[in-house]
Amino acid sequence: MTTTTTTRTVKLSTNAVNGLLRGAGIVAAFALSALVLVIIGASPADAFRLIVSGSGIVPWSPDKLAYVLTAWAPVLLCSAGVLLTFSAGLWNIGIEGQVVLGAICATGMLRALQGSVPPALALVLAALTGMLGGGLWAILAGVLKLYGNVNEIFGGLGLNFIASSLTVYLVLGPWKRPGIGSTSGTQPFAPSLWLPSLAKGFNVSLPEILLGVLAMIAVYLALRGTFFGLRLKAIGKNMRSAFISGVPTGRYFLLAFAFCGALAGLAGWVLIVGTSARHNLFPLVSSGYGFLAILVALLANLDAIWSIPISFFFAAIAMGSLQLSIQRQLDSSLGGVIQGLLVLAILITQGLQSRLFGRRKV
């Protein structure tokens, strides 16, 4: 009885210290963000107020909230994919290029089918093509790692560059607008190929939000209660031990890349047909959502359930920070600085937690 009581007391004290460390890390991140704002001559209170109001939550603004939700959908899809590769110990930095390839392949399918099949069928086929393109591009990074001994970080960065360059080539070359050679993008799709808004005055499409949430739930269930997920996590914990135990690590590496790339490709499809999209292919179509998903996964500590609110929070910061450039002529990338500092602070606190309690858990 005494031993059980002591164990509970130790767990409660450990949880309390962990909570204090994480809270201190978040406070430190916002303090550093405020310092950056002071250095560039901006008011931290005013900047934070603009970011919050720009998210449409306080004060309530359906128009601004709609932008946050439409940014949330691709972040959710990419975050779900990243969780699979990170769980297997793979740093899939190439997810940004996988989003771009998904957008390219989906655009190609829509251009080929436009006017020849019903719009709903064209959208579905474009989504599947985007997933195929993103999945194959991700598998290429896996093949480079397995058979070319190229670290997935460097391979992914190289593939990101190729994907971005291919977009510019298509926009300025084979898919350029008639009579126009501009990086503004390809010819916009017909309105029938746009995802419909949820309601008048609320420019959000239900399918893109549902796809993101369902993808995250599916990844949660896969990692938590399936043989596939358990093997992925075993590889991520100790690849050599998993291999000796009979797990086909190479096959699972490629599967993790394939599923992640498919979800990233689906995000690329959302970015060209979604309610807030420009409804065409253009350079920088990914808008950094792949990299943002990496921050989400790190901040959530690879937890799929926590990734849902954290990805919404990051989307709110990303959209809210646009007000900094609109109203105060400040660079909207300051939102990215805040996001990065938050992740850095949490990673530091996790390191402190490991040092304080790591040995005690063994």
- pLDDT, tens only, 30-71: 888 888 888 888 788 888 888 888 777 777 677 788 888 888
The phi and psi torsions of 275 (rounded to 5 degrees) equal -70, -30
Residue stretches of the chain with pLDDT short of 50: 1, 359-362
pLDDT digits (tens, 9 = 90+) for 105-117: 999 999 999 888 9
pTM recorded for the entire structure: 0.88
pLDDT of residue 200: 65
- The rounded radius of gyration (Å) of the Cα atoms in the chain is 22
pLDDT of residue 198: 74
